[in-house]
């Protein structure tokens, strides 16, 4: 959708969406593309009311007109039928979900899953806890992938140039290709596959290569993670995959590595890293690990770091050589290596005290320290990293190396062969090279050289439109297959449902090309498994039941390389640091947190999930540093930084650009030029970026993604070349006077109040263990518990001391007065008080990964509202992840360049004295005897008083019938067209009410899971009093998905539960506790662990420092 | 000229107004009282595609509820049996009965029999059968004497007031677990037996929820 010189616009004739899509884009063909985009970004209010601004809304299939309204049943009771099976399916109990193991395929790391199915339709994805490194966690992409399966835009049938074709025709075509190339030994055949971990696929591919030895089989992933593997493969001829053990590491240096959020293995890394951060009492403070992060982009890893050094990504080789030299110098062990590293001349200058303190810290924790480097960095960084790890004793203790297969041919080889004109058949299996291939390969022209082209794809995307044949592909939840996790453990891919449409499994397609007699994907998977094991049915069933094959991880080595080998490789490496300025910027291509590399572009949950750092939904922007913003401003005269008056409080940023108006961002548009190519895109300032590094998130600006993803954001792929896949230098940025409105949610749901985020440093925590409760208003106005102030948590939650209140509070220890049997003499002693639910969120472990937001959306049938409604602040997420920047402000005029980032997940706090309840005129929101603040949707009349009275801003109102009406006609209210695609309905959780227009909703603590667990326990109890749900039986959706186990839920009335024990932590505090609302969710204050020897180390975090500075006098408590 | 209207007509408008007020009040009161599940639902007895008689199968033949409603003690739903459950007997008994033709057709084709739903909770109510039948609440408390019904009909109102009545006075409805599926079980009246039933409530910690979250989510 951008005005690029490189990417030709798709012609309307090649549209896949029929009239609706192209009716909206008719004018696109006539006007410059970017102008069109602009108009879309400035939706005029009036036109929306008429319902004509339809482009950026989720448009879903109008498949079910017939179901409209209440029907004509009138006063008669509608007759419903119950359709039991003709023949009962095994294990299927109506109303009880069935759980199957599976895994989500990806290029290098299949995430093990347990999928919840209701009547054979998958509704919710959870991680498989049997795989202990990931502990049952998943990421937001895995959570959202279930929605892709029910996407009305997915490809439902195969086609060729003449139109739809049936499955038999596709199979005939595959056989024809096979016969044709059997004769030329595959000379004219090129296969381009996407990354996969599947042992079955590699087995079939090997057979195919044996049969057709001259065929080219290449693999392409736009965001591959082969940096370290190829670097080591150059030395030993086998690819080595570093497997860091973050739980064993006390000191960690991350060199431009976002190991917590991007890249394979992240779930295990985040979980292991968080183990080192979970200290609950000040006396254990020294057990905490310390993370140094050196990075250009502000990533989640950088946000978690105790020390963050901003450097350009292109300067990382230089940094690694300096660190290696310093570590080797201090260790004094290997003079030869030291000399070799020092011989690498670098011109980078960083604070020598920082470097020596960091190196000393690593060496002091010899055997418990670790250095990791980002996979996008050049080979010398990985070699230097290995060298440092050898010197600090990490190899074998905190990092191991697994031998893996070497990466195969690349997309460049494909293009070379295409250009030679010898390719008769180009078969693309998965992927989307027409959209994401490097720009210098000129993919679109190269494809034309092939005799015929075929594309196996889940969506009919940009690549499918270029190809002669489009073969519809099954979703992984419909497919048999297998895969490996990052450490090599074999996991199954198990179908939950037969393919809904006439689609193909990749294994079948490859098997037919290879001429296999067995083309059934199940049989192929089984045969692969049998070859790895003894091949018994029992072993296979155990594999499916556990969801993994035990002890199948890659064998690891402690130190597979010798120092001498490394030094040879390093000699003559270029570690010079480029000089950056406003005229010579470094451009970084980063994975998007919404669409990854673009493959999730048509997923509404992901598009609407605010990106963790920028909080963009439905958009991306070029990210620039504050210093660059100033310089661009003075060069162009366009104001993008805030006025002085817009900065509030000491250093706390609430408004990032001058262009925020009533929560909407009007971002200026800039022209970005690199490698002779130019695109136009909005810019957004992110404090914490390296000064002259700019970031372009990939995965947006799709043209044939589907009705959700088309034209969202700008496409950065046209700037990306084979030589600059991740880092391009020499970029320039020029501001224009144009502006564009972006859907940025960062100001939504801002809370009033003091000391919302509470942080401390290890040293001051040790001195003042309960600092978290001596901040904010609580320091002089704590929650009013009256005489019960010092009672235990258990006493407080069950007895509800009334404190100074005029009202008698109900005591949960007592039976309800209207139940005579329990109010008889002697009965009360036997009464078992209901369990009291509560939650603790550990801000020291929360990395801000957003998985909880999407998991909650999936579990609780939360609708998406579309870009326009997000700009109006109407997004429906029940849990939001507040991101706060704090910074050391040296000059009040300026935006801090070095920032500390804090994340805080906020959902309904289930206050014991809930302010929302007292204002509801119809008792739609009330307390129950388990301490839950419940919403009775069918009572709610939509006054929204409760939302007004909620200090946490966690209540969400259904302004429209998101679930039922056509999203273009929501403003017509009940007169709008009913538009509930059957496919979309299948995803809904049947245990949660789908809310309608005019109803308030909010986090329920997953009450459906609580009630299900209680019902189960009652079934187990039978004629006994064993009705208490054991601790750990109930996992809320957000808790289950959390990679770092930052969220803990359970019974507060029992002192032995995990949540009660966390409540005893020094760090425990209530958000806005001084309001005396007594929230059931509490937070554990964040602790940072800076190195005292590093210059400019702060005694306390910026937030706490500024908080103290604002206090009129020291607190004497 | 004689008066067209007698003098009494002068009060007519006020009479009409009063009458309208009364009529509206009566309609309102009537609707409020009679348009409740107590009156609208009880007695609903739709014609089923197969004239299945619970009286014959349960009372005369002595079948247990769970022979057909197999998952009632394990799931939220009390399932309607699949056709193959019927055929486990009817492949031997009354194999040619024309009344059973839909069952045989369903069994052979796999297509379901469209049984008409009699008891329906609203979509926002999440009732769990397993939690009740495993804790001493019999089928009969909500469904009536199904074992004596030739045609299943709606016997109880199943309104929210109906639910709460039991949730507030569980001792009046609880029974020994072995009697849950015995629909002819008679509640004892002698004081010792009543006291024993009441101990169930105390010993089993039966504390039925009365708050919204118990049934609505």
Return the pLDDT at A347: 87
Please tell me if residue B128 touches chain A, with a CB cutoff of 8 Å.
Answer: yes
Burial of A953 (0-12, 13-18, 19+ CB in 10 A): middle
**Angle at the Cα of A417 from the Cα atoms of A412 and A418, rounded to 5 degrees:** 95
How distant is the Cα of B109 from the closest Cα of chain A, in angstroms?
7
Q: Which of the pair, B38 or A501, is modelled with greater confidence? A: A501
- Residue to test with chain A: of B126, B138, B154, B174, most A Cβ within 10 A: B126
Please tell me if residue B123 touches chain A, with a CB cutoff of 8 Å.
Answer: yes
CA distance A449 to A444: 10
Are the C-beta atoms of residues A726 and A763 closer than 8 Å to each other? no
Percent pLDDT > 90 in chain A is 63
Which of A117, A149, A181 terminates a domain? The answer is: A149
pLDDT digits (tens, 9 = 90+) for A47-103: 333 333 344 333 333 333 333 333 333 455 788 899 998 888 888 888 899 999 999
Are the C-beta atoms of residues A449 and A423 closer than 8 Å to each other? yes
User: What's the whole-number mean pLDDT along residues A768-776?
Assistant: 85
Residues A253 and A334 reside in one and the same domain: yes
CA distance A979 to A988: 15
Contacts 24+ apart (CB under 8 A), A826-830: A827/B202, A830/B202, A830/B203, A830/B205
Which residue of chain A has the CA closest to B37? A77
Which of A382, A404, A426 terminates a domain? The answer is: A404
Q: What is the pTM of this model?
A: 0.89
Residues of A with Cβ-Cβ distance to B216 under 8 angstroms: 934, 936-938, 993
β-partners of residue A653 are none
- Asked if the Cβ–Cβ distance from A926 to B209 is below 8 Å, we say no
- Asked if the Cβ–Cβ distance from B177 to A1022 is below 8 Å, we say yes
Are the C-beta atoms of residues A561 and A386 closer than 8 Å to each other? yes
Contacts of A191 (CB under 8 A, 6+ apart): A205, A208, A215, A216, A217, A218, A427, A429, A513
Are the C-beta atoms of residues A670 and A659 closer than 8 Å to each other? no
Average pLDDT score, chain A = 86
Q: Which CATH number goes with the domain that contains A345? A: 3.40.228.10
How many A×B Cβ pairs under 8 Å?
182
Q: Is residue A987 part of a domain?
A: no
Percent pLDDT > 70 in chain A is 89
User: What's the whole-number mean pLDDT along residues A511-517?
Assistant: 92
Return the pLDDT at A38: 32
- Asked if the Cβ–Cβ distance from B214 to A822 is below 8 Å, we say no
Residues A325 and A384 reside in one and the same domain: yes
| The token pair that represents A1092 in the structure block | 């005292």
pLDDT digits (tens, 9 = 90+) for A833-844: 999 999 999 999
A1110 confidence band (pLDDT: 50, 70, 90): low
- Residue A555: name the closest of A971, A243, A123 by CA: A243
User: What's the whole-number mean pLDDT along residues A420-424?
Assistant: 90
- Residue to test with chain B: of A814, A994, A1011, most B Cβ within 10 A: A1011
Write down the H helix ranges in A860-938.
867-871, 915-919
Which of A149, A167, A187 terminates a domain? The answer is: A149
Residues A624 and A680 reside in one and the same domain: yes
- Residue to test with chain A: of B113, B133, B202, most A Cβ within 10 A: B202
**Which H or E element spans position A981?**
none
Residues of A with Cβ-Cβ distance to B85 under 8 angstroms: 88
Residues A481 and A589 reside in one and the same domain: no
Give A211-222 as a DSSP string.
HSTT-EEEE--T
| A913 Cα distance to chain centroid | 34
Return the pLDDT at A790: 86
- Asked if the Cβ–Cβ distance from A821 to B71 is below 8 Å, we say no
Could you tell me whether strands A216-219 and A239-244 are parallel, antiparallel, or unpaired per DSSP bridges?
A: unpaired
A894 confidence band (pLDDT: 50, 70, 90): low
Return the pLDDT at A51: 38
User: Which B residues, 179 through 208, put their C-beta within 8 Å of a C-beta on chain A?
Assistant: 198, 200-205, 207
Residues of B with Cβ-Cβ distance to A93 under 8 angstroms: 71, 74-75, 77, 79
A17 confidence band (pLDDT: 50, 70, 90): very low
- Asked if the Cβ–Cβ distance from A993 to B201 is below 8 Å, we say no
Domain holding A726, by residue range, is: 585-742
Per-residue pLDDT for A9 more than 50?
A: no
Nearest-by-Cβ selection for B168 from A819, A929, A1019: A819
Residues A379 and A231 reside in one and the same domain: yes
Domain boundaries, chain B: 13-39, 51-64+73-80+120-214
Cα dihedral A403→A404→A405→A408 (10° resolution): -120
Least confident of A132-141, A516-525, B3-12, B104-113: B3-12
The residue to which tokens 């940009």 are assigned: A462
How distant is the Cα of B21 from the closest Cα of chain A, in angstroms?
25
- Asked if the Cβ–Cβ distance from B74 to A96 is below 8 Å, we say yes
Nearest-by-Cβ selection for B124 from A84, A830, A937: A937
- Asked if the Cβ–Cβ distance from B109 to A86 is below 8 Å, we say yes
User: Which A residues, 809 through 868, put their C-beta within 8 Å of a C-beta on chain B?
Assistant: 815-816, 818-822, 827, 830-832, 834
pLDDT digits (tens, 9 = 90+) for A1070-1107: 998 888 899 999 999 999 999 989 877 777 676 677 66
Q: Is residue A881 part of a domain?
A: no
CA distance A1081 to A905: 11
- Asked if the Cβ–Cβ distance from A821 to B198 is below 8 Å, we say yes
HSE-up of B148 (CA within 13 Å, CB side)? 7
Per-residue pLDDT for A584 more than 90?
A: yes
pLDDT digits (tens, 9 = 90+) for A375-390: 999 999 999 999 999 9
Residues A715 and A605 reside in one and the same domain: yes
| The token pair that represents A597 in the structure block | 């590399």
Residues A738 and A592 reside in one and the same domain: yes
Residues A625 and A646 reside in one and the same domain: yes
Which residue of chain A has the CA closest to B71? A93
CA distance A697 to A624: 12
**Angle at the Cα of A812 from the Cα atoms of A810 and A813, rounded to 5 degrees:** 120
Please tell me if residue A634 touches chain B, with a CB cutoff of 8 Å.
Answer: no
HSE-up of A315 (CA within 13 Å, CB side)? 25
A26 confidence band (pLDDT: 50, 70, 90): very low
**Which H or E element spans position A1013?**
helix A1007-1021
- Asked if the Cβ–Cβ distance from A831 to B207 is below 8 Å, we say yes
A743 confidence band (pLDDT: 50, 70, 90): confident
Q: Which of the pair, A1114 or A458, is modelled with greater confidence? A: A458
| A116 Cα distance to chain centroid | 20
pLDDT digits (tens, 9 = 90+) for B93-140: 999 999 999 999 999 999 999 999 999 888 899 999 999 999 999 999
Residues A675 and A687 reside in one and the same domain: yes
Least confident of A574-588, A955-969, B53-67: A955-969
Per-residue pLDDT for A183 more than 90?
A: no
Could you tell me whether strands A189-193 and A425-429 are parallel, antiparallel, or unpaired per DSSP bridges?
A: parallel
Least confident of A297-311, A757-771, A917-931: A757-771
Q: At what angle do helices A316-331 and A352-364 cross, to 10 degrees?
A: 60
User: What's the whole-number mean pLDDT along residues A130-149?
Assistant: 94
Return the pLDDT at A646: 43
How distant is the Cα of B195 from the closest Cα of chain A, in angstroms?
11
What is the sign of the dihedral through the CA atoms of B207, B210, B213 and B216? Answer: positive
User: Which A residues, 58 through 97, put their C-beta within 8 Å of a C-beta on chain B?
Assistant: 77, 79-88, 93-96
- Residue to test with chain B: of A830, A910, A1023, most B Cβ within 10 A: A1023
User: What's the whole-number mean pLDDT along residues A551-558?
Assistant: 93
Which residue of chain A has the CA closest to B111? A86
**Which H or E element spans position A758?**
none
Return the pLDDT at A67: 36
User: What's the whole-number mean pLDDT along residues A781-808?
Assistant: 84
Least confident of A778-782, A807-811, B2-6, B204-208: A778-782
Return the pLDDT at A75: 53
Least confident of A41-50, A70-79, A180-189, A664-673: A41-50
- Residue A777: name the closest of A756, A746, A761, A760 by CA: A756
First to last CA, chain A: 60
- Asked if the Cβ–Cβ distance from A95 to B76 is below 8 Å, we say yes
Please tell me if residue B116 touches chain A, with a CB cutoff of 8 Å.
Answer: yes
Give chain B as a DSSP string.
---SS-GGGGGHHHHHHHHHHHHHHHHHHHHHHHSSHHHHTTT--PPPSS---HIIIIIIT---HHHHSTTTTTSSS-PPPPHHHHHHHHTTSSTT-GGGHHHHHHHHH-PPPEEEP-----TT----HHHHHTTT--THHHH--GGG-SS----S---HHHHHHHHH-GGGT---GGGTT-TT-----SHHHHHHHHHHHHHTT-----SGGGT--
Number of domains in chain A: 5
Per-residue pLDDT for A698 more than 70?
A: yes
**Which H or E element spans position A254?**
strand A251-255
Per-residue pLDDT for A27 more than 50?
A: no
Residues A237 and A308 reside in one and the same domain: yes
Residues A388 and A416 reside in one and the same domain: no
User: What's the whole-number mean pLDDT along residues B209-216?
Assistant: 92
Nearest-by-Cβ selection for B79 from A80, A94, A1023: A94
pLDDT digits (tens, 9 = 90+) for A250-281: 999 999 999 999 889 999 999 999 999 999 99
Q: Is residue A592 part of a domain?
A: yes
Residues A132 and A168 reside in one and the same domain: no
CA distance A379 to B141: 75
Return the pLDDT at A889: 60
The ipTM is 0.91
b/e code A979-990 from CB counts within 10 Å (16+ = b): bbeebbebbbbb
Please tell me if residue B109 touches chain A, with a CB cutoff of 8 Å.
Answer: yes
Please tell me if residue B67 touches chain A, with a CB cutoff of 8 Å.
Answer: no
Burial of A59 (0-12, 13-18, 19+ CB in 10 A): buried
Please tell me if residue B114 touches chain A, with a CB cutoff of 8 Å.
Answer: yes
Are the C-beta atoms of residues A753 and A470 closer than 8 Å to each other? no
First to last CA, chain B: 75
Please tell me if residue B47 touches chain A, with a CB cutoff of 8 Å.
Answer: no
pLDDT digits (tens, 9 = 90+) for A986-1025: 999 999 999 999 999 999 999 999 999 999 999 999 999 9
């Amino acid at each position: 959708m951008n005005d690029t010189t490189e990417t030709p616009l798709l012609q309307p004739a090649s549209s896949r969406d029929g009239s609706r899509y192209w009716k909206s884009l008719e004018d696109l063909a006539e006007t410059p593309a970017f102008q069109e985009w602009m108009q879309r970004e400035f939706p005029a209010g009036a036109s929306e009311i008429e319902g004509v601004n339809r482009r950026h809304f989720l448009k879903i299939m109008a498949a079910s007109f017939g179901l409209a309204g209440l029907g004509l049943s009138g006063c008669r009771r509608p007759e419903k039928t119950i359709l039991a099976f003709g023949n009962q399916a095994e294990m299927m109990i109506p109303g009880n979900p069935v759980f199957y193991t599976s895994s989500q395929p990806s290029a290098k790391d299949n995430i093990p899953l347990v999928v919840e199915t209701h009547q054979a339709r998958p509704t919710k994805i959870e991680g498989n806890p049997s795989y202990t490194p990931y502990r049952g966690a998943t990421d937001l992409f895995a959570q959202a992938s279930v929605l892709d399966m029910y996407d009305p835009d997915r490809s439902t049938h195969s086609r060729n140039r003449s139109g739809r074709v049936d499955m038999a025709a596709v199979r005939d075509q595959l056989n024809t290709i096979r016969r044709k190339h059997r004769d030329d030994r595959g000379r004219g055949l090129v296969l381009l596959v996407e990354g996969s971990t599947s042992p079955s696929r590699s087995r079939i591919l090997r057979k195919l290569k044996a049969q057709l030895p001259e065929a080219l089989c290449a693999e392409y992933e736009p965001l591959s993670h082969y940096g370290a593997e190829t670097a080591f493969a150059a030395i030993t001829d086998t690819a080595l995959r570093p497997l860091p053990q973050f739980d064993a590491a006390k000191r960690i240096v991350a060199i431009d590595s976002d190991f917590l959020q991007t890249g394979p293995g992240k779930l295990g890394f985040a979980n292991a890293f968080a183990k080192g951060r979970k200290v609950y009492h000040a006396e254990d403070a020294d057990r905490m690990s310390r993370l140094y992060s050196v990075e250009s982009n502000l990533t989640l890893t950088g946000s978690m770091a105790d020390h963050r050094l901003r450097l350009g990504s292109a300067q990382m080789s230089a940094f690694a050589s300096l660190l290696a030299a310093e570590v080797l110098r201090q260790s004094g062990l290997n003079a030869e290596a030291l000399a070799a590293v020092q011989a690498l001349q670098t011109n980078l200058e960083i604070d020598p005290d920082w470097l020596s303190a960091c190196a000393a810290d690593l060496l002091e924790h010899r055997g418990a320290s670790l250095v990791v480097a980002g996979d996008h960095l050049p080979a010398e960084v990985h070699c230097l990293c290995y060298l440092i790890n050898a010197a600090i004793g990490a190899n074998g203790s905190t990092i191991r190396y697994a031998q893996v297969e070497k990466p195969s041919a690349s997309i460049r080889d494909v293009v070379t062969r295409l250009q030679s004109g010898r390719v008769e058949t180009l078969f693309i299996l998965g992927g989307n090279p027409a959209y994401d291939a490097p720009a210098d390969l000129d993919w679109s022209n190269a494809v034309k050289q092939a005799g015929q082209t075929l594309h196996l794809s889940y969506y009919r995307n940009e690549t499918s439109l270029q190809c002669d044949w489009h073969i519809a592909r099954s979703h992984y939840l419909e497919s048999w297959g297998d895969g490996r996790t990052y450490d090599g453990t074999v996991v199954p891919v198990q179908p939950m449902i037969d393919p809904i449409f006439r689609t193909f499994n990749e294994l079948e397609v490859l098997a037919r090309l290879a001429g296999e007699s067995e083309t059934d994907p199940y049989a192929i998977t089984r045969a692969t498994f049998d070859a790895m094991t003894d091949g018994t049915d029992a072993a296979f069933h155990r594999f499916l039941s556990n969801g993994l094959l035990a002890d199948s991880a890659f064998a690891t080595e402690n130190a597979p390389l010798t120092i001498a080998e490394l030094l040879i490789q390093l000699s003559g490496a270029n570690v010079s640091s480029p000089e950056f300025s406003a005229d010579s910027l470094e451009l970084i291509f980063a994975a998007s947190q919404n669409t990854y590399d673009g493959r999730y572009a048509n997923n509404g949950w992901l598009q609407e999930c605010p990106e963790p750092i920028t909080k963009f939904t439905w958009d991306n922007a070029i990210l620039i540093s504050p210093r660059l913003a100033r310089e661009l401003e003075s060069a162009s005269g366009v104001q993008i930084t805030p006025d002085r008056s817009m900065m509030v409080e000491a250093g706390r940023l609430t408004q990032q650009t001058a262009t925020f108006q009533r929560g909407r961002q009007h971002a200026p548009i800039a022209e970005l030029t690199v490698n002779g190519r130019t695109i136009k895109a909005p810019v957004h300032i992110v404090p914490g970026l390296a000064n002259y590094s700019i970031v372009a998130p990939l995965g947006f600006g799709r043209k044939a993604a589907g009705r959700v993803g088309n034209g969202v954001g700008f496409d950065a792929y046209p700037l990306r070349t084979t030589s600059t896949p991740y880092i391009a230098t020499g970029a320039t940025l020029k501001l224009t006077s144009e502006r564009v409105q972006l859907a940025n949610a960062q100001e939504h749901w801002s809370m009033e109040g003091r000391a919302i985020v509470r942080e401390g440093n290890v040293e001051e925590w040790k001195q003042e263990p309960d600092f978290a409760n001596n901040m904010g208003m609580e320091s002089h106005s704590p929650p009013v518990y009256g005489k019960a102030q010092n009672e235990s948590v258990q006493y407080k939650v069950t007895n509800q001391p009334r404190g100074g209140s005029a009202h008698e509070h109900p005591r949960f220890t007592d039976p309800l007065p209207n139940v005579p049997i329990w109010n008889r003499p002697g009965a009360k002693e036997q009464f078992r008080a209901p369990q009291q639910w509560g939650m603790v969120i550990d801000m020291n472990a929360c990395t801000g990964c957003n998985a909880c937001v999407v998991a909650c959306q999936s579990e609780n049938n939360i609708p998406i509202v579309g870009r326009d409604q997000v700009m109006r602040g109407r997004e429906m997420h029940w849990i939001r992840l507040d991101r706060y920047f704090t910074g050391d402000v040296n000059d009040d005029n300026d935006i801090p360049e070095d920032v500390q980032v804090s994340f805080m997940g906020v959902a309904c706090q289930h206050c014991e004295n809930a302010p929302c309840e007292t204002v509801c005129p119809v008792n739609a929101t009330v307390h129950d005897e388990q301490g839950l603040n419940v919403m009775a949707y069918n009572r709610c009349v939509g006054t929204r008083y409760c939302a007004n009275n909620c200090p946490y801003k966690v209540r969400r109102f259904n302004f429209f019938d998101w679930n039922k009406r056509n999203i273009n006609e929501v403003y017509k209210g009940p007169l709008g067209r009913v538009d509930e695609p059957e496919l979309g309905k299948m995803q809904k959780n049947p245990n949660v009410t789908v809310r309608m227009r005019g109803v308030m909703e909010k986090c329920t603590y997953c009450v459906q899971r609580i009630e299900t667990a209680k019902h189960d326990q009652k079934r187990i109890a039978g004629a006994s009093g064993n009705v208490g749900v054991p601790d750990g039986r109930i996992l809320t959706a957000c808790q289950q998905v959390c990679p770092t186990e930052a969220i803990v839920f359970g019974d507060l009335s029992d002192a032995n539960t995990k949540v009660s024990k966390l409540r005893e932590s020094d760090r425990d505090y209530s958000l806005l506790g001084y309001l005396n609302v007594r929230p059931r969710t509490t937070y554990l204050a964040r602790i940072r662990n800076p190195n005292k020897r590093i210059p400019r180390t702060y005694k306390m975090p910026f937030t706490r420092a500024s908080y103290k500075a604002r206090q009129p006098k020291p607190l004497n408590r | 000229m004689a008066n067209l209207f007698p003098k009494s007509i002068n009060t007519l408008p006020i009479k009409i107004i009063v009458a309208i007020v009364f009529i509206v009040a009566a309609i309102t009161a009537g609707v409020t009282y009679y348009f409740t599940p107590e009156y609208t639902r009880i007695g609903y007895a739709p014609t089923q595609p197969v004239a299945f008689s619970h009286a014959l199968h349960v009372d005369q033949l002595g079948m247990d509820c769970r022979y057909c409603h197999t998952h009632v003690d394990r799931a939220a739903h009390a399932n309607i049996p699949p056709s193959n459950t019927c055929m486990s007997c009817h492949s031997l008994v009354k194999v040619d009965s024309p009344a059973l033709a839909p069952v045989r057709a369903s069994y052979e084709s796999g297509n379901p029999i469209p049984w008409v739903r009699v008891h329906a909770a609203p979509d926002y109510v999440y009732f769990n059968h397993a939690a009740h039948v495993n804790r001493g609440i019999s089928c009969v408390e909500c469904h009536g004497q199904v074992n004596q019904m030739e045609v299943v009909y709606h016997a109880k109102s199943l309104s929210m007031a109906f639910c709460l009545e039991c949730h507030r006075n569980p001792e009046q409805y609880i029974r020994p677990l072995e009697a849950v599926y015995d629909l002819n079980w008679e509640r004892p009246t002698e004081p010792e037996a009543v006291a024993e039933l009441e101990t169930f409530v105390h010993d089993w910690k039966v504390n039925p929820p009365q708050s919204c979250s118990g049934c609505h989510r």
